[in-house]
Structure formats: C-alpha cells, structure tokens
Chains A and B, each alone.
Chain A
Amino acid sequence: MNSTNGERKPVAIEVHGLRKDYAGVNVLDGINLSVKPGEIFVIMGPSGSGKSVLLRQIAGLEIPTAGSVTIDGMDPSLEETRDKVALALVFQSGALFNSMTVVDNLALYPREHRLHPERAIREKVMEALRMLSLEKAVEKFPSELSGGMKKRVAIARALVMQPQILLYDEPTSELDPIMGATIAEIIASLRKAIAVTSVVVSHDRDLAMTIADRVAIIMHGRIKAEGTPDDLRRNNDPEIVDFLNPTINLENPRFRKMEASNE
C-alpha cells in the first residue's frame, strides 16, 4: 500500500561510504552523512563537485559504485521503498511533463496512484497551486511558463505528493535574486507547513546560510566541511573561506591558478 494513505512522518537519510564512478572516473569518493527527520540539509559545492550526483543517489535514480544510501533504513532505488516512503525531487530544470498542462502535471501522481477521487485531487492540486501563487497558470503548458514559474510548479507538483522527503536540485539556479529569495522562502515555509525532511543541493550561499539547519560542502567528490551555518562561517579552511566569500581579484585571477594546477 502506498504510504500516502497513511500518516506521514519525516524520515531520516543515511549515507555511508558512498562512492560513484562513471566510466572509471570517480565523482563521489567516500561520502558519509546523515540527515535527521524534518531537517533542512543543504549540500553546497562548486560546479562539478558531485552535488547533483549525490542527490540522484539519495533519490534512488542511480546505483552507488560502493557504499550505501538508506531512507528510513531502506534502499531508495527499490520500488518497494518508494511504495513505503513518499519521496519527491524538484529537478533543476523542473522536469515538467511538456505534453501536459500545469494542472495535469500536478494531478499525475495522485491519479496514477488512485489516492483520491478526481474532485478531491483537483482540490488538492488547486491548494498546492494557491500555496505557490500559481492559480493563473492552471491551464498553461510548461513551455508557456517563465523559469521561476516552472520551478514553483515543480515544487507544487512535489507538494501534491505529500512527501516525507523533499529533494531540491539547484532550486534557485537561473533565477533573478528576487525569485531566488522567493524560492528560499517557500522551502523554509514548507518545513513549517508539512512535516518533511528536505535536502537542498545548491551553490547559492545566501540560500544555504539562511534556510539550512545544517550544511555540507562537497569538493572534489568529498565532504570538505559539515555543520550549522554558524559552524561554517567560523571555519578557517582557506578553500571554505574562499568558497563562501569569493572575492574578485583582478591582479591575481583565480582562473590562472586553476590553469597552473591543471598543468
């Protein structure tokens, strides 16, 4: 039976010794972390550090090369786990179904799992759209939406699933600062509105430091630092300091150092 019929509680995520290789290239190298039920856990890191790969492992979309990911003690890649734990992923691109209207995108999950009668589904969909101020987008197709609206529709679609775990992949990328702040507010407010464990992958420092209970910074496939936002602000590691407070140095540009380290 699908868990959406029962009472929902946020669940814990455990990652132990996770390693992921693609065609012999190591992307994640021995990741260990645990996310507590109901927590907002932000994973930060520079581009290409393996953040999104880690999120796909947590979502069960890929199988680890070594190590394990468990959700409430179960393997997220198994269909049985998805039957028991409602997990939603807000993709960076939104991954909305282009052939469906916004309302059908949101209604797909409850319709396919026959969670409610059609009228109740419609009400739940409208409630989610109202929460994210998307009432005017109901009959629009994803191609007719702006980037910010697509992200909000993707979040609304996740909400309709009444998830116990909500994963966000770069929720503020490609958005203007105001829309980025709006999305951050939505993520924080959802924790109050629904009992959910949230994992946010982002390189947006402001988002991470504002909404996170805890933050992990991944560099070169490993966790370089982990702790509360205040812990990270106090961290003296030069790489962490540079990542969290990058300065533009015209005299000694960073890309020259990157070139030198690649030679």
Chain B
Amino acid sequence: MTTFMRFFEHVGSIVLLATRAFSHVPTVGRQTGRVVEQCYLIGYTTLPIVAILSFFIGGVLALQAGISLQDFGARQLIGTLVGESMARELGPVMTAILLAGRVGSAITAELASMKVYQEVDALVTMNIRPERILVLPRIVAIILMMPVLTIIADVIGWLGGAVVCQYVTIIGVDWELYFQSLKDFLTVQDVLNGMIKAEVFGIGVVLVACNVGLRTRGGPREIGLSVTQAVVQSLILILVLDYFITRALV
C-alpha cells in the first residue's frame, strides 16, 4: 500500500472511530465513573506540568518582547503581546502538545496493550463496543478538561510575564502597566478563540491516540512503535489544524 493510500486509510479509520464513538453519546450518563476517572487523568494530573510550562513561556515571551519592544519605544505593550499570544496561540497549542506527549501517549499505550493482550477482543465477544467504553469517556473528558487547562495555562502564562516584567530590571515595566496593557487590548473573543482551538486539538489528540492504539497488532515492540506514531501524528495534526483554525477565526 502506498503512503498516500495509507494516509487516507488512516484518516478514514479516525473518522469511523469518531462516528462510532459519538453514536454512543446517549450512554454518557451511564459512564459517569469512567468520565470522571478520565477527567482526573487528563486534567488533574496534567495540571502541574501545564502550570510550570505556561509560567515560563509567559516569562520568556515577556523577556523577548521586552527587549525587542524597547527598540521601538513600545515597552508598555508587553502586556498586550504576552496576553494575546498566550490566549490566542501559545496557551491552547502548548497545552495540546503537552497532552499529546503525556496523555495521548498513555492512552495509546493502554489501548495498544489491551489490543495486543486480547482484552479488546474479549470486549467484542461480550458485545461491548470498545468505542463506547474506551473511546467515548476519553473524548468527553477532554472536551470538559481542555478549556479548563487552557484557561489555567493562559492565566499562569500572563502571571509569568508579569513576574518577569516586575523583577527583570532591563525590562522595567511594573505590574500595573503590564496588566493595564493586557486588559486594554485583550478581548473575550481572543480567549474564546483559544478555547475553540484547544477543544479541537484535544479531540484530535484523543482520536489519534485511540485509533493508533486500537489498530495495534503484534507484541510489546509494536506497542512502543504505536506510542511513538501516535505522538508524532498528534503533533503534526495540532500544527496543521492550528493554521486552518487560525485562518478561519481571523
């Protein structure tokens, strides 16, 4: 099979998986326990790393922007730049990339080992659709958690920028000026656009991770290969989707 055909087969299988998973939406109410468990894994356990990363991204942005904007005499706009960059781009994209590496890889590893060790076959013989109990709760959890994580990433990123502005003397912008500029130009629409992106990225990451995991055949080596494959595909998907969503939202 050519690479071209494989690509379309893969896209087709993701669409099919999504269709099958969403066809079980009426069962979500009965799967609250699974959804809560996935929310914990996707949201709560990812939070510390999202917080650390966002803080430093905001800080680096403020540092770089501060030095560059000084040349144009526009230091007072650092808050705007950090605020909008975090809300519209870096918050959702970095959160999705983190999720692809941390959560996506874990999902693929779990489902791939379930497939290889015939647990998925056992579900099928029990007439329990894997899409219903393995995929749908994860999609619902990511839909619930992604906006929360993105908002937290945005806010901590803004704080990171503020700390750098306040305490790095070469920038010389205080808290008040930083937050004033952030407030003046940042709109609710910017934050909402970021959350829309985050939702799409999150669903994409989960679908890719589940699809690769459930299509795994072979043994332990293939589980490892699937995890790598899922992370790489997710990263590419996030960046490609980012362009098209940004294009649609501007």
B237 CB-CB contact with A under 8 Å: no
A98 CB-CB contact with B under 8 Å: yes
Would you call B119 and A88 a contact (CB within 8 A)?
Answer: no
A109 contacts which chain B residues (CB < 8 A)? Answer: 126, 128
> Considering the complex, which residues of chain B in the window 117-134 have a beta carbon less than 8 Å from any beta carbon of chain A?
117-119, 121-122, 124-129, 133
B129 contacts which chain A residues (CB < 8 A)? Answer: 79
Would you call B125 and A89 a contact (CB within 8 A)?
Answer: yes
Would you call A61 and B124 a contact (CB within 8 A)?
Answer: yes
Would you call A97 and B127 a contact (CB within 8 A)?
Answer: no
Q: Which of A61, A79, A91 contacts B127 (CB 8 A)?
A: A79
Would you call B125 and A97 a contact (CB within 8 A)?
Answer: no
A95 CB-CB contact with B under 8 Å: yes
A79 contacts which chain B residues (CB < 8 A)? Answer: 127, 129
B114 contacts which chain A residues (CB < 8 A)? Answer: 97
* Chain B residue with the shortest CB-CB distance to A112: B128
Q: Chain B nearest CB: distance from A38 CB in Å?
A: 20
Would you call A112 and B126 a contact (CB within 8 A)?
Answer: yes
Would you call B117 and A112 a contact (CB within 8 A)?
Answer: no
Given contacts A93-B117, A95-B118, A108 and B127 within 8 Å (CB-CB)? no
Would you call B125 and A61 a contact (CB within 8 A)?
Answer: yes
Q: Size range of the interface on B?
A: 10 to 19
Would you call B128 and A97 a contact (CB within 8 A)?
Answer: no
* Chain A residue with the shortest CB-CB distance to B127: A82
Would you call A108 and B125 a contact (CB within 8 A)?
Answer: no
Residue of A56, A91, A161 with most partner-chain B CB within 10 A: A91
Would you call B133 and A112 a contact (CB within 8 A)?
Answer: yes
> Considering the complex, which residues of chain B in the window 121-163 have a beta carbon less than 8 Å from any beta carbon of chain A?
121-122, 124-129, 133
Would you call A91 and B118 a contact (CB within 8 A)?
Answer: yes
Residue of A91, A97, A112 with most partner-chain B CB within 10 A: A112
Would you call A93 and B126 a contact (CB within 8 A)?
Answer: no
Would you call A87 and B125 a contact (CB within 8 A)?
Answer: yes
Kindly state the separation between the CA atoms of A60 and B124 in the bound complex, as whole angstroms.
Answer: 9
Kindly state the separation between the CA atoms of A61 and B125 in the bound complex, as whole angstroms.
Answer: 8
B121 contacts which chain A residues (CB < 8 A)? Answer: 56, 59, 61, 89, 91, 95
A119 CB-CB contact with B under 8 Å: no
Would you call A59 and B125 a contact (CB within 8 A)?
Answer: yes
* Chain B residue with the shortest CB-CB distance to A88: B125
Residue of B114, B119, B128 with most partner-chain A CB within 10 A: B119
A256 CB-CB contact with B under 8 Å: no
B124 contacts which chain A residues (CB < 8 A)? Answer: 60-61
A192 CB-CB contact with B under 8 Å: no
Kindly state the separation between the CA atoms of A89 and B127 in the bound complex, as whole angstroms.
Answer: 12
Would you call B126 and A108 a contact (CB within 8 A)?
Answer: yes
Kindly state the separation between the CA atoms of A113 and B122 in the bound complex, as whole angstroms.
Answer: 15
Q: Chain B nearest CB: distance from A81 CB in Å?
A: 9
* Chain A residue with the shortest CB-CB distance to B125: A89
Q: Chain B nearest CB: distance from A150 CB in Å?
A: 12
Would you call B128 and A108 a contact (CB within 8 A)?
Answer: yes
A60 contacts which chain B residues (CB < 8 A)? Answer: 124-125
A83 contacts which chain B residues (CB < 8 A)? Answer: 127
Kindly state the separation between the CA atoms of A220 and B40 in the bound complex, as whole angstroms.
Answer: 51
Would you call A97 and B126 a contact (CB within 8 A)?
Answer: no
* Chain A residue with the shortest CB-CB distance to B132: A112
Residue of B122, B125, B129, B133 with most partner-chain A CB within 10 A: B125
Would you call B127 and A95 a contact (CB within 8 A)?
Answer: no
0/1 interface trace, chain B 82-124, chain A, CB 8 Å (1 if under): 0000000000000000000000000000000010011101101
B122 contacts which chain A residues (CB < 8 A)? Answer: 89, 91, 95-97
A98 contacts which chain B residues (CB < 8 A)? Answer: 117, 119
Kindly state the separation between the CA atoms of A56 and B127 in the bound complex, as whole angstroms.
Answer: 15
* Chain A residue with the shortest CB-CB distance to B126: A109
Would you call B133 and A97 a contact (CB within 8 A)?
Answer: no
Kindly state the separation between the CA atoms of A149 and B127 in the bound complex, as whole angstroms.
Answer: 24
26 contacts between A and B (CB under 8 A): A2-B127, A59-B121, A59-B125, A60-B124, A61-B121, A61-B125, A79-B129, A82-B125, A82-B127, A83-B127, A89-B122, A91-B118, A93-B117, A93-B118, A95-B117, A95-B119, A96-B122, A97-B119, A98-B117, A98-B119, A108-B126, A108-B128, A109-B126, A112-B133, A113-B127, A161-B126
Closest 6 CB pairs of A and B: A82-B127, A95-B118, A95-B122, A89-B125, A109-B126, A112-B128
Extra inter-chain contacts (7) besides given A97-B114, A108-B128, A161-B126, CB under 8 Å: A56-B121, A60-B125, A61-B124, A83-B127, A93-B118, A112-B133, A113-B128
